[in-house]
Structure 1
Amino acid sequence: MNTSYDNELKKIEFYGRFHPEYLPYVGDNYEKSKVLLLGESNYIDETNPGLTAEVLRLIDSSLWYTTASEYLPKDGCIDWCHNRNIINDTLEKKKNGQKTSPAHNMYINPAKAFVEVFPQVANTWDAFSYFASMNYFQKPATKTGKSISQKKEDEQFAAANLCHIVSVLKPETIIFLSKKAHWAFEANETAELKELYIDACAHPTCAWWNRDKGERGREKFKKIISERITI
C-alpha cells in the first residue's frame, strides 16, 4: 500500500483529527492508473452490545463527523469502518488462498475485471494495487449489510470531502461502484470536479454486476478502465 499521500490526507480535519480509519486505500501502482474507486458506505455490527442507542443516534447525526473515533466502540464499529485494514486483509487472504467474505467481492470483482482487461497483471491482489479506493459516504450504515439511509447533510459532507480527496490524490478517473452514491454526488456536484472524468457502474456485489451480460456492471467497468488506463 502507498502511504506517500498520508501527510497531506491527514491535513484534512476529518481524517487527521476525527476518523483516521476512513483514510482512503491507495495501491502501490495507483500512480500508473490514477483511478479512484468509490463505494457507498461501511456498516456496523448491530449485534455488538457496545453499540447503544446513544451511539446509534450519534452515528445518525452530524456529530459523527466531529467525534473522534477513540470515543466510539472499536469492535463492530470503528474496526468495521477501517477501509485500509479491510482491503489489505481481503487481498492478503486472496493471495494465501483463504476464504474471503462475500461482502468483500466489492474489491475482488473489480480486480478480476482488471485482470481480464490487463492479463499481464496475473492476479487480483496485484490488480487492486492499481486503484485508490474509499466509500463515498464517510459514515457507516446503522443496519448490518444494508444501504445507508443518508440525510442531506451526509450528502453535502461527502461531496465536500471528495473535493478534498481529489486535491490530494489527483485522480484522472473516478468510478462510482454504487448508483446510490453516484446519484447523491450528482445532486451535490461541485464546480471543482466538473472537468474530471467521472462515471458509475453497478455495485460489484449486487446481481447487476453480471446481469444482462454485465453491461451495467462488469463489462461497463472493463470498458472504462480499458479506455482510461494504459499499463
Structure 2
Amino acid sequence: MTNDFNIEFDNIDHYKNFPIMKPFIGENYFNAKKKILVIAESHFFDEKSNINSGPTKWYTSSLKDLHESKFDSINTQMIVESSSHPVFRELENVLSKSMEKYKNRALNNIAFMNGFQRPANKTGQSIKELASAMDFEIGIKTVTKVIEILKPDFVIFISKYTWEKIGKQLHKVENVKYEFINHPASIRYWHNSKYPNSKYRLIDLLK
C-alpha cells in the first residue's frame, strides 16, 4: 500500500482507532485489468474480548485498549497475506482462473476488507448474532469512504448478510458496479453452477 493511501485511510474515523483493520490492497491493484474490491463480513476473535462486550464499548475503544494477543485476529493485511483461512485459498483458486498472478498470487490484484468493523466474539460466529444499528451505520460509513478512495470497477460482496445490511444501503458511486457472490465457505452454493451467485458468476465477472 502506498503512503498516500495509508494517509487517506488514516483519516477514516474507525481506522484512527484500529489502524490494523485497514483494507488489504494488493500490490498490483491499481494496475490490474479490473480493479476489484472484495468485501466479506467481519473478523472474529478466538474468544470474547473485554472491549467487545457491545458496540458502544468497541467503537469508543482503540487498539491500545486491546490485548496484544488479539491483534492478529483483526489485522486485515496480515490475514490476507498469510492465506491461512480457507476463504482466501478458495478466492485465490477462483481468481487465478480469470486473471494473471502477480508475484505468484492472484490476490495481489485485488483489494479486500470486511463490511462490519466490529469482530464476532468467537471462531465461526456470524456478526449477525451481535449486530446493531451502530454496526450497520459505521460499516456503511467506512465502506463508503474506502470505495471513494480506491475507486474500484467492481465491489463484490461475498457475504449475503453484509450485502443486505451494508451493500444495498450504500450510496452508489458512479461507474462502480456492485455485485453479490455467495460466501466461499457455503459449499452447497459456491460450487453450484446452477446457482446465480456461485463462484462461476465471479469467474464471469472477472473475464
TM above 0.5: yes
Give deviations 1:107-128, integer Å, cap 9, x for gaps. Answer: 221221122123x4388x5200
1-structure distance, mates of 2:18, 2:106: 27
Shift of 1:188: 2.5
Q: Does 1:7 align with 2:45?
A: no
Q: Does 1:139 align with 2:118?
A: yes
What is the number of equivalent residue pairs in this alignment?
A: 201
Instruction: Tell me if structure 2 keeps the 8 A contact 1:110–1:221.
Output: no
Runs of 4+ in 1 over 6 A off after TM superposition: none
Q: Does 1:115 align with 2:108?
A: no
2-structure distance, mates of 1:199, 1:216: 9
Shift of 1:79: 1.8
TM-score by length of 1: 0.79
TM-score by length of 2: 0.87
Unaligned runs of 5+ in 2: none
Between structures 1 and 2, the one with greater helix share: 1
C-alpha RMSD of matched pairs (Å): 2.1
2-structure distance, mates of 1:168, 1:222: 25
Q: Does 1:193 align with 2:173?
A: yes
2:73 alignment partner, one of 63, 75, 80: 80
1:202 alignment partner, one of 169, 178, 182: 182
1-structure distance, mates of 2:79, 2:62: 20
Question: What is the SS of the residue equivalent to 1:193?
Answer: coil
Give deviations 1:22-51, integer Å, cap 9, x for gaps. Answer: 1100001101231100010011111x7xx3
Which of these two proteins has the greater Rg computed from alpha carbons? Answer: 1
Residue 44 of structure 2 aligns with an amino acid whose one-letter code is: Y
Residue 199 of structure 1 aligns with an amino acid whose one-letter code is: E
Within 5 Å, give how 1:17-166 maps onto structure 2.
17-31=16-30, 32=32, 33-46=34-47, 51=49, 54-57=50-53, 60-75=54-69, 77-90=70-83, 100=84, 104-118=85-99, 120-121=100-101, 125-148=104-127, 149=129, 150-166=131-147
Shift of 1:193: 3.1
